Amino acid sequence: MSEDIQAGLAEILEEVAGVSPADATPEKSFTEDLDVDSLSMVEIATEVENKFGVAIPDDELANIKTVGDAITFIQKNRG
Amino acid sequence: MSTNDDVVVTGLGATTPLGGDVASTWEALLAGRSGISRITDDWVAEFPAQLVARMAVDPAEKLDRVRARRLDRSQQAAVVAAEEAWRSSGAADAGVDPERIAVVIGTGIGGALTLLGQDDVLEEKGPKKVSPFTIPMLMPNGPAAAVGLAVGAKGGVHAPVSACASGAEAIRWGLDLIRFDRADVVLVGGAEACVHPLPMAGFAAMRAMSTRNDEPERASRPFDKGRDGFVLGEGAAALVLERGDAARARGATIHARLAGAGATADGYDLVAPHPEGEGAGRAIRAALRDAGLTQADVGHVNAHATSTPVGDTAEAAAIRGALGEHVLVTATKSQTGHLLGAAGALEAVFTILALRDQIVPATANLDDPDDDAAVQALDIVRREPRRASFSAAVNDSFGFGGHNIALVFTTA
């Protein structure tokens, strides 16, 4: 199940920020390893909601530092 | 003349309805090709004016996909043109301190496609779906800012907005920045991309656009009796300006000197030009004084001439009054359409290439010159380009709001 989420998230990262899917692994930091800026993080959150039906509130978004954090959040909140 | 008065052009770039770069655009212009076509989208059915001059090459195709999606189409065009100018100037390899590099890129309208597109998103899907890139993509300083980032300019990034004079105004600002020693190298130009139903409807409501829908290539006909308005174009053009001594010292190719500029305001009406082109004539005279030239020195004028009934005759009067009847006049919007805030920059590029190649492009569709006395008196090049010998040339640009800019270029 988390593999599905990881793959879906990788697709979003590639589309929005040009991150190669092979690089979108759980330990990677969005800002430090993947060079994703703050506006792109907002766009990623929007795409996550479109794809997984999981809204990420702004205060939660600030706590999502790595790809793994995002996978965990989606997993926990997906209906 | 002090050293800082010797400002030269060392780089040129463009993406236009005639081609994706300077060389293809110039070749198409001299060959008499038109960049104008009829819109085929469904929305256009009820529109009185259905013609457009779209960029020949989609600028997004020349940029990295992720970079392109964060730039409005006007910004994409600006970056493509500016990167061509920057590369061709060789300035990147000249070791110029980034704090001495400035950018001035004007636009008439800014990121209209983003503004209107995101408004659709807002209406249809709500505020949470509006892109976080909306503001940086729609702001009118966006093209200048995107170009500044592309070349690493830290000496100031500026964005003059004066409707259809914006591109020329940017060139004038660049000239001043070097003269006042605020920068060593300035990348200047204009960008516009607003082909969308709203601007089309707005310009049509002003009765400013040609409705010759069945003859796209014959619709833009400056100075011709049958002219009935302009054709909306899109694209960008850019020039690299620097001090002549520095450019020569590094062995740069010098395309022309930017010898002077003049700027005036009509003080007459918000959108209608003064019928005798009073403010336009003053701008040309001011530019000549600034360049230290007289009217006899000028051999060629690239006119603003947009193909509107009142604008073209007003400009003809201004040219005749300020420069006399000997100058070879051309109106290249007959083939490119009207690029609004990019027009002045593109036509500056054409003026420079005309000087370099000693050839004046023809004004397309000038079959039957207007009966107006000034139009009749001027030597407007038509049917085919004309070879001539001249060492100075003027480029006029005017904008809604009564803005007038004239630029004077001389041979290198």
Note whether B224 and B282 are same-domain residues: no
Choose one of B249, B277, B308: the last residue of a domain. Answer: B249
Read off φ and ψ for residue B188, nearest 5 degrees. Answer: -120, 160
Number of domains in chain B: 2
Are B65 and A18 a contacting pair at CB < 8 A? yes
CA B337 to chain centre: 11
Residues of B recognised as catalytic: 164, 304, 338
Q: In which residue are the tokens 């004079």 written?
A: B165
Helix (H) or strand (E) holding B355: helix B343-357
Cβ of B132 within 8 Å of Cβ of A43? The answer is yes
φ/ψ of residue B242, rounded to 5: -155, 170
Contact B64 A43 (CB under 8 A): no
Burial of A30 (0-12, 13-18, 19+ CB in 10 A): buried
Do B268 and B230 lie in a common domain? no
Whole-number Cα distances in Å, B332 to B176, B336, B390, B409: 27, 6, 19, 17
Considering chain B, what is the average pLDDT of its residues? 97
Average pLDDT over residues B28-37: 98
In a domain, B410, yes or no: no
Tell me the pLDDT tens digit for each residue of B125-136: 999 999 999 999
pLDDT band at A1 (very low <50, low <70, confident <90, very high): low
pLDDT at site B4? 65
Q: Does A18 touch chain B (CB under 8 A)?
A: yes
pLDDT digits (tens, 9 = 90+) for A33-54: 999 999 999 999 999 999 999 9
> pLDDT tens, B110-123?
999 999 999 999 99
B17 and B68 co-located in one domain: yes
- Is B255 within the bounds of a domain? no
pTM of the complete model beyond 0.90: yes
Helix ranges, B94-213 (H): 112-125, 134-138, 142-151, 166-179, 197-205
**Residue B404 bridge partners (DSSP):** B264, B398
Q: Domain boundary residue among B186, B221, B249?
A: B249
Across B45-70, average pLDDT: 96
Q: Is position B2 within any domain?
A: no
Statement to judge: residues B212 and B334 lie in one domain: no
**Residue B249: is it exposed, middle or buried by C-beta count within 10 angstroms (0-12/13-18/19+)?**
exposed
B323 in a structural domain: yes
The confidence score (pLDDT) of residue B302 equals 98
Smallest CA-to-CA distance from B231 within B217, B244, B243 is with: B217
The closest of B338, B66, B354, B102 to B238, measured between CA atoms, is: B102
**Are residues B111 and B243 part of one domain?**
yes
Q: Is residue B3 part of a domain?
A: no
Find the closest chain B residue to A56 by CA distance. B128
Q: Whats the size of chain B, residue-wise?
A: 412
* B126 plus B213 within the same structural domain: yes
Which chain A residue's Cα is nearest to B128? A46
Contact B133 A17 (CB under 8 A): no
pLDDT the model gives residue B3:
52
How far lies B261's CA from each of B32, B177, B189, B284, in Å? 29, 13, 15, 8
Shared-domain flag, residues B291 and B188: no
Q: What is the pLDDT of residue A68?
A: 96
Kindly give the residue spans of alpha helices, DSSP state H, lying in chain A: 2-17, 38-52, 58-61, 67-77
Q: Return the residue matching tokens 């999606």.
A: B69
Residue B216, C-beta contacts closer than 8 angstroms, at least 6 positions apart = B34, B36, B37, B38, B51, B231
Test A16 with B66 for CB contact under 8 angstroms: yes
For the residues B46-57, what does the mean pLDDT come to? Answer: 97
**Residue B64's closest chain A neighbor by CA?**
A18
Q: To the nearest whole percent, how much of chain A has pLDDT over 70?
A: 99
Q: Indicate the number of domains in chain A.
A: 1
Q: Would B141 be classed as within a structural domain?
A: yes
Range of the domain at B176: 8-249
State whether the Cα torsion B379-B385-B389-B394 is positive or negative.
Answer: positive
The packing angle between helices B309-323 and B278-291, to 10°, is 40
Q: How far is CA A67 from the centre of its chain?
A: 6
* pLDDT at residue number B1: 44
Q: How far, in Å, CA of A56 to CA of B350, rounded?
A: 52
CA distance B112 to B403: 21
Give the range of the structural domain holding residue A73, as residue numbers without chain letter: 2-77
Q: Which residues pair with B179 in a beta bridge?
A: none
B170-204 exposure pattern, b = at least 16 Cβ within 10 A, e = fewer: bbbbbbebbbeeebbbbbbbbbbbbbbeebbeebb
Q: What is the pLDDT of residue A78?
A: 87
State the pLDDT confidence band at B398, using cuts at 50, 70 and 90. very high
Residues A67-76 pLDDT 10s: 999 999 999 9
Chain B positions in Cβ-Cβ contact with residue A23 (cut-off 8 Å): none
Give SS3 for B257: strand
Average pLDDT of the residues in A10-28: 95
Q: Cα dist. B120→A51, B74, B100, B348, B397 in Å?
A: 21, 19, 41, 36, 34
The token duo for A69 is 């954090």
Query: Which amino acid, B401?
Result: G
pLDDT in tens, B318-328: 999 999 999 99
Which residues lie below 8 Å from residue A4, measured CB to CB, with a gap of 6+?
Answer: none
Average pLDDT taken over every residue of chain A: 93
Cβ-contact B187, B153 below 8 angstroms = yes
Count Cβ–Cβ pairs < 8 Å, chain A vs chain B: 15
- Alpha-carbon distance of B319 to B304, in angstroms, equals 11
Residues B209 and B153 in one domain: yes
CATH number of the domain residue A68 falls in: 1.10.1200.10
Residues B138 and B55 in one domain: yes
Q: What is the CATH number of the domain that holds B46?
A: 3.40.47.10
